[in-house]
Amino acid sequence: MNLPRNIADFQGVWSLTRLIRDERAGHIIQADGQAELQQDALGLVYDETVTLRIPGQPAMTGTRRYLWHDAGDQIAIHFDDDRFFHALKLGQPRAEDHHDCPPDSYDAVYDFSGWPRWTVRWKVSGPRKSYEMETKYALR
């Protein structure tokens, strides 16, 4: 099975599609766009630009940035201010991790079984948030 084995395997431009099932708002939000992962001194910089489609609202642009630090057999993913977010274990078809953001909780499942296509699913729960988000990536 072809799997990502190091951080350099993610470098490049990825098309992405996203589906967010927001239980609190009762909405299904769709997004599409791209993520560009460029090398820096500690690993990769993940820059994402998407068009969000929220029911009843005009389409809007969303952006996010993460810092992916090389940590051997895993990638330490940080927010753009360099606070740790979660870790991504490499060399396996499926990887899971958890992030606490009190009072809410974030659980991620990465699926690399179709590499170089891959998916990440987040389940977010707590008193402030309740949604599931699935993002599918394909190398351009």
Strand order in the sheet with 84-89: 84-89, 74-79, 60-70, 43-53, 27-40, 12-22, 130-139, 118-125, 104-111, 94-101
Does a structural domain hold residue 2? no
pLDDT at residue 112, as a whole number: 97
Q: How far from chain centre, in Å, is Cα 65?
A: 10
Domain limits for position 85: 7-139
| pLDDT tier for residue 90 given thresholds of 50, 70 and 90 | very high
Instruction: Give dist(CA 130, CA 58) in Å, integer.
Output: 23
Q: Is the confidence at residue 1, as pLDDT, over 80?
A: no
Mean pLDDT computed over 5-20 = 97
Record the pTM: 0.94
Q: Is the confidence at residue 127, as pLDDT, over 80?
A: yes
pLDDT at residue 25, as a whole number: 86
Instruction: Give dist(CA 21, CA 98) in Å, integer.
Output: 19
Query: Any idea what the CATH number is for the domain that residue 65 is in?
Result: 2.40.128.20
CB contact at 8 A, 40 and 22:
no
Does a structural domain hold residue 126? yes
CB contact at 8 A, 123 and 22:
no
Q: Is the confidence at residue 102, as pLDDT, over 80?
A: yes
Instruction: Give dist(CA 19, CA 120) in Å, integer.
Output: 11
pLDDT at residue 57, as a whole number: 94
Does a structural domain hold residue 111? yes
Mean pLDDT computed over 116-136 = 96
Does a structural domain hold residue 39? yes
Does a structural domain hold residue 70? yes
| pLDDT tier for residue 92 given thresholds of 50, 70 and 90 | very high
Does a structural domain hold residue 1? no
Does a structural domain hold residue 113? yes
In this structure, of 16-20, 75-79, 100-104, 108-112, the range with the lowest mean pLDDT score is 100-104
Does a structural domain hold residue 65? yes
**Mean pLDDT, the chain, whole residue set:** 96
Q: Looking at the 3D structure of the chain, how many domains does it have?
A: 1
